[in-house]
């Protein structure tokens, strides 16, 4: 398990390697999606912070606090994160998620995380702030997505 800001920084690095930049919304959603796929495919969390159901989707508060200064602009520097690095399995998951989702804009990523029956949709309550989305709920959602994708490929 890694600090979510280390995961965010890896996404920023992957974008830079392709000559691209990410907005705060993209960073927030990519971290959440990678965490979900890690839970769903490997039965273990990617990040060590909780995910919360905010008005605009699932959010890791530490990442939000680190990117909010950029507003709607691109994130132009790495986030201040505690020392550490991703394990090979974690880094591989981040790279796969970036390959699949990294070209989507923030609105497209947000639409994915806001779909009916997603963990966010199940937990969010209008006017409430900071409701945690349990990892087992996130894991089950991504396991279901994996089964649906496997069935579609068969």
- Position 29 pLDDT exceeds 90: yes
Which pTM value belongs to this model?
0.94
Residue 18: Cβ within 10 Å count: 10
Residue pLDDT, tens place only, 41-53? 999 999 999 999 9
Share above pLDDT 90 across residues of the chain, in percent, rounded to a whole number:
90
Query: Where are the chain's structural domains?
Result: 4-153
Query: CA 67, CA 60: separation in Å to the nearest integer?
Result: 11
| Contact status, residue 2 vs residue 107, Cβ threshold 8 Å | no
70: closest CA among 79, 61, 62?
A: 79
Which whole-number Å values give the CA distances from 13 to 74, 130, 142, in the listed order?
Answer: 13, 29, 25
- Position 107 pLDDT exceeds 80: yes
Query: CA 120, CA 117: separation in Å to the nearest integer?
Result: 8
């Amino acid at each position: 398990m890694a600090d979510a800001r280390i995961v965010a920084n890896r996404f920023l690095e992957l974008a830079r390697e392709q000559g691209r930049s990410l907005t705060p919304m993209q960073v927030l959603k990519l971290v959440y999606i990678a965490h979900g796929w890690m839970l769903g495919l490997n039965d273990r969390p990617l990040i060590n912070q909780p995910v919360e159901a905010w008005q605009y989707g699932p959010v890791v508060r530490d990442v939000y606090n680190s990117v909010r200064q950029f507003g709607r602009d691109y994130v132009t520097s790495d986030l201040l994160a505690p020392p550490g690095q991703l394990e090979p399995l974690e880094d591989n998951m981040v790279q796969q998620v970036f390959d699949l989702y990294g070209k989507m804009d923030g609105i497209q990523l947000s639409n994915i995380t806001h779909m009916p029956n997603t963990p966010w949709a199940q937990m969010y309550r209008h006017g409430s702030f900071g409701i945690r989305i349990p990892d087992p709920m996130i894991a089950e959602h991504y396991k279901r997505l994996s089964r649906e994708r496997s069935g579609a490929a068969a």
